[in-house]
Structure 1
Amino acid sequence: MVDWIILAGISLVSITFAVQWLLPRRRIRAADFGLSLSSSLDDAVFLFDGDTLISHSDIALAGLDCVNDWHDLRRMLQRDFPAFPETPDAVRAEGSLTISAIDCTVEREVVCEWIDGIVRVQLRDVAGKDPKPRDHNDPIRLVMDRAPYPVWLLDHSGTVRWCNAAYVSLVRKARGPDADLTAPLFPARVDEVPLGRKTRMSITAGDGNAKLWFDLTHVEHEQGHLFYAVDINAIVEAEIAQRKFVQTMTKTFAQLSIGLAIFDRNRQLALFNPALIDLTTLPPDFLSCRPSLSGFFDRLRDQHMMPEPKNYRSWRRQMNDLLEAAQDGNYQETWSLPSGSVYSVSGRPHPDGAVAFLFEDITAEITLTRRFRSEMDLMQSILDKLADAIIVFADDGSLAFTNYAYQLLWGESDEAGFEPVTVLDITRQWQEHCLATPVLGEIRDFVEMRDNRAEWSAEIQMRNGMHLTCTASPIQNGATIVRFTAIDRVGTENKMSKISA
């Protein structure tokens, strides 16, 4: 019985081995590219024989349109993977290709493999996996993905082949979240951005009103053209603000009657107003050419619009001194021109080493001042011819002026008559020469009064025995004139003669 059991077991084992031997064997190679591999359960896998799709994984077409051949798949992948080969021959030539997404934020990649005439295309998720080395055709990606400024690679056909995260963010800001990254954000013509120097360009933001400004740098690359963009919006806004400020200041300066000439740190004319043309008679085209400081004053000298120097060398030294004084902010001078005009010229320092010169025509003021002084001299000479002693007080009670007879009578000099003294000081001086009298206090009160003032007279006696009639009269603008007349004219004339002698 035991022998039969042993024989039956041996027979069963033999039959099992025989069946296994007779069954068709699976190709071991299939384990390298089978669709049911554990590594590809969550990835889309396509198998191509030439251009024809022969098989795909269950999730390969999820969310995609119908794919029948290689060109259909390339059309589906070209937006995110513009480097996907145009034909399977490129995969055959390389053997294996790993293609990264143009958007570095897309954590997927495409792997193409050539396996015994069959092309296997796998879309796999790279999130959480160890990063693999990039191929030699994409050497800058690892370095530039985290760059704070946009960088992109434009191929020879004018399509964006690669870009970094900053470029992706900029495209989505300008064109929306679903924008095509392969379409160049900036002008596609490469010759618009010359090699070796920065080129300022702008793009329009999503709302169509705001502009974003960048400095573009163009570098040649073996796969096309590499571009760098630097955000200069702050610089452009500052330039616009400065330009508006200059325009505002120019409009303001245009209304001034004072000529303005501002020279920059290089001593070239940077800004002038129309009044400068009127005052200096310099032609506008000359001023618009931004002459130098020395050229500007040379032209003024040629136009006889500044005092003629005795010799040119001393005049040149004077101009150097003028510039140094203007830099310190203490240059102030009055120019009497050969034409008879009088200009007030001042220099003022400006920020960043600039210097501003102000030209003001003060001919009318000088003429008025001279005329006023002439009239004052005439009036003083007339008062000096009068026999009565006269003193005038201003509305605030200060001494305005006196005549020669007053100075003789009270012993005051001409210089003392114009000192800023008050009516209180004057009456105290009179008190020293007069006997005690309330008239002097009444004069003081009358000078300080503002209302109900009428002319009045009183008699006072000096210590030398002379009797005087003192007359106080109000005049315009609150001023007061006080006149002293001698009562005994014969005696007074003799005493006046003795005083004169």
Structure 2
Amino acid sequence: MVLGETLQLLIVVFMAIGLALLLYRFAFQRSHGHALTREARAVPNLPVFLFEGQTLIDATPAAQTIVDRMPTNESEFDALVGFLAPLFPSLPVAIAEMSSNGAQNIVHPDDETLSVRLLRDGPRLRLTLDSAQHVDATLRYKELEEDAFRKEAETHKTICQNAPQLIWQENNEGQVVWANATYLRYADLHVRADENIGQAWPKKRLFSDAPFPIAHDALPLTKRRSLQLHGEEAEHWFNVTSMPTANGALHYAIDANEIMRAEESQKAFVTTISNTFAQLSIGLAVFDRKRRLASYNPAFGDLTGLPASFLVGRPSIEIVLDQLREMRKLPEPKDYSSFREQFSALETAAQQGTYVENWDMPDGQTYRVTGKPHPGGALAFLFEDITAEISLTRRFRSEIETSQAVIDSMPDAIAVFSASQSLVISNVAYSEMWADDVTPDSIAYDLRIALRQWKSGCVSSAVWRRIESFAGSLSEREAWSETVVLKDGRQVACSVTPLKGSMTMVKFTPRTTRSLTLEKLTAPDFALQQRKV
């Protein structure tokens, strides 16, 4: 029983507290909200605005009249500050620098009877448009607003009239109802001078193909249109933008002559490049950043055998690779999957401009494939048929190897020196005779080193000086031969022969073998023995 009475008492207390809070809040709102109302009642024509943050929470009738004429695409606060800023330039800064509580009065720079009073109370800001005569405050600010609108209209008119673009307005029947000075100047140049006599307004449209009427909900339409002036052969080009208005359409024409010339120059350049590529014997294929075929020349199709119906479909690099493999136009790899991975890595190498490979085809042809990066992430691949070049190189290599085998089979020691006295070719017998492993690749080996080697292996002779003089001579030379003696006693015929290109061939032919020479040196002298007897 006691517990029940206690609960009832608590409920009554809480209800009383809640009611008191509601009454307090209502009384606070009434007293705060009627602040503007009392002032408006005292001075009805005084515009007073009360903002909380960016939101207008209260306004006098005079202030509401101003609010109703403001743009609706922004907040009331921004619209009001934007309207007052031209009249009071320091107003935006003053509002931004105000503390949480304070007041400030800003006077019009040219009319001291006009001012803006600011009163900050926490998040709320009261803005009052004041005048020396409170009764005329609303009327005075309305006059200022109308004057600002007139100045803005004059500014817009001046901008439109003096704009270098052609600006004109048409009604729904396509008749020109207004045009700026630039349009009228072109209208005068469009016809003969005598046709403009007595004509106050152009009756013909300059751009007869401009659309009309335009639906009210249509989006602005931009199209390039041409205009032929009287007495001129060249056409004038404009980018014409048309947009709907309440009673017709508004058109803007921007000069596009430079753009047209640039585009024509670019087209001519592309045509020239395309014709040049079409005449090349090297196949060219360009893949865009998505690695799809963007362009190619006829040689690419001829070299790869890919049909035009396939190429116009803009296949990717992978699809081109698969098609070439099916047509046996790729080198035959032992592992095709690894080859595809290697080909995928080609993109990275081509982006760096480092991909150059020779593709040996199953049919005996050889292609040199080069990857080059292009602007915008594109890749260009050049396919060059080097079959003839490779065949010629192989034939030359075979001939050189054959020539080397021939001289290696000769018993004579042979060495050929160029005009610069470097070793060109030598045979096995030469290396064996002079105990030196020299080849034409031995860049450091020349006639000077060879002479030193020959001198050290032979008995002193004037032949070496003669060879040195013969190799360096620029006059006509004749072959000659001398005998030199090796330090082991063997006699060797040294033959020196001039060759084409100012080259010199030195040949060493042994006249006696080493064993025969030793027998002669150690054999008894019978004549000497007879004399001793």
1:24 is matched with which residue? none
Deviates more, 1:181-190 or 1:395-404: 181-190
1:153 is matched with which residue? 169
2:409 is matched with which residue? 385
Of 494, 514, 518, the residue aligned with 1:470 is 494
Task: Verify: 1:168 aligned to 2:184, yes or no.
Answer: yes
2:386 is matched with which residue? 362
Deviation at 1:413, TM superposition (A): 1.2
Task: Verify: 1:226 aligned to 2:250, yes or no.
Answer: yes
The 5 Å alignment of 1:342-361 reads 342-361=366-385
1:277 is matched with which residue? 301
Partner Cα distance (2:465, 2:382) in 1: 52
What secondary structure does 1:145 align onto?
helix
Partner Cα distance (2:441, 2:469) in 1: 21
1:190 is matched with which residue? 211
What secondary structure does 1:307 align onto?
coil
Of 190, 202, 210, the residue aligned with 2:234 is 210
| Aligned amino acid, residue 249 of structure 2 | H
1:292 is matched with which residue? 316
1:124-161 CA deviation, whole Å, 9 max, x = no partner?
A: xxxxxx99969x9x998566334442221121222111
Deviates more, 1:410-419 or 1:328-337: 410-419
Q: CA RMSD in A?
A: 3.3
Partner Cα distance (1:175, 1:493) in 2: 118
Q: Return closer, same or farther for 1:422/1:255 CA change in 2, 3 Å cut-off.
A: farther
Partner Cα distance (1:494, 1:198) in 2: 109
Whether the aligned pair in 1 keeps the contact of 2:286 and 2:295 (CA below 8 Å) is yes
Deviation at 1:310, TM superposition (A): 4.3
Aligned length: 364
1:12 is matched with which residue? none
1:445-485 CA deviation, whole Å, 9 max, x = no partner?
A: 32233431111101222223222111011233333221101
| Aligned amino acid, residue 281 of structure 2 | S
Deviation at 1:417, TM superposition (A): 6.7
Partner Cα distance (1:276, 1:494) in 2: 73
Instruction: Give the fraction of aligned pairs with identical amino acids, expressed as a percent.
Output: 38
Q: Return closer, same or farther for 1:417/1:404 CA change in 2, 3 Å cut-off.
A: farther
The 5 Å alignment of 1:13-412 reads 141=157, 144-175=160-191, 178=196, 181-188=202-209, 190=211, 195-311=219-335, 313-412=337-436
1:270-303 CA deviation, whole Å, 9 max, x = no partner?
A: 3322222221112233334443343333333332
Partner Cα distance (2:497, 2:148) in 1: 109
Whether the aligned pair in 2 keeps the contact of 1:254 and 1:274 (CA below 8 Å) is yes
Q: Return closer, same or farther for 1:424/1:322 CA change in 2, 3 Å cut-off.
A: same
Q: Return closer, same or farther for 1:458/1:167 CA change in 2, 3 Å cut-off.
A: same
Q: Return closer, same or farther for 1:416/1:183 CA change in 2, 3 Å cut-off.
A: closer
Partner Cα distance (1:175, 1:248) in 2: 38
Partner Cα distance (2:503, 2:185) in 1: 82
What secondary structure does 2:364 align onto?
coil
Q: Return closer, same or farther for 1:490/1:435 CA change in 2, 3 Å cut-off.
A: closer
Partner Cα distance (1:189, 1:198) in 2: 10
Deviation at 1:393, TM superposition (A): 1.7
What secondary structure does 2:254 align onto?
strand
Deviation at 1:332, TM superposition (A): 0.8
| Aligned amino acid, residue 489 of structure 2 | G
| Aligned amino acid, residue 163 of structure 1 | A
Q: Return closer, same or farther for 1:467/1:312 CA change in 2, 3 Å cut-off.
A: closer
Query: In proportion to residue count, which structure has more helix?
Result: 2
1:120 is matched with which residue? none
Task: Verify: 1:429 aligned to 2:440, yes or no.
Answer: no
Partner Cα distance (1:192, 1:387) in 2: 104
Unaligned runs of 5+ in 2: 1-146, 520-533
Partner Cα distance (2:314, 2:517) in 1: 74
Of 448, 453, 456, the residue aligned with 2:472 is 448
1:46 is matched with which residue? none
Q: Return closer, same or farther for 1:150/1:249 CA change in 2, 3 Å cut-off.
A: same
Deviation at 1:343, TM superposition (A): 0.8
1:222-242 CA deviation, whole Å, 9 max, x = no partner?
A: 211222223222222222111
1:284-342 CA deviation, whole Å, 9 max, x = no partner?
A: 33334443343333333332222244455433432332111111111111111111111
What secondary structure does 2:448 align onto?
helix
What secondary structure does 2:244 align onto?
strand
Give the TM-score taking structure 1 as reference length: 0.65
What secondary structure does 1:376 align onto?
helix
Task: Verify: 1:438 aligned to 2:462, yes or no.
Answer: yes
Whether the aligned pair in 2 keeps the contact of 1:213 and 1:233 (CA below 8 Å) is yes
1:161-193 CA deviation, whole Å, 9 max, x = no partner?
A: 112233234434544674863421112452699
Deviation at 1:210, TM superposition (A): 1.7
Deviation at 1:418, TM superposition (A): 4.5
1:49-92 CA deviation, whole Å, 9 max, x = no partner?
A: xxxxxxxxxxxxxxxxxxxxxxxxxxxxxxxxxxxxxxxxxxxx
Whether the aligned pair in 2 keeps the contact of 1:401 and 1:417 (CA below 8 Å) is no
Whether the aligned pair in 2 keeps the contact of 1:402 and 1:417 (CA below 8 Å) is no
| Aligned amino acid, residue 511 of structure 2 | I
Whether the aligned pair in 2 keeps the contact of 1:154 and 1:162 (CA below 8 Å) is yes
| Aligned amino acid, residue 475 of structure 1 | L
| Aligned amino acid, residue 494 of structure 2 | C
Whether the aligned pair in 2 keeps the contact of 1:158 and 1:188 (CA below 8 Å) is no
What secondary structure does 1:339 align onto?
coil
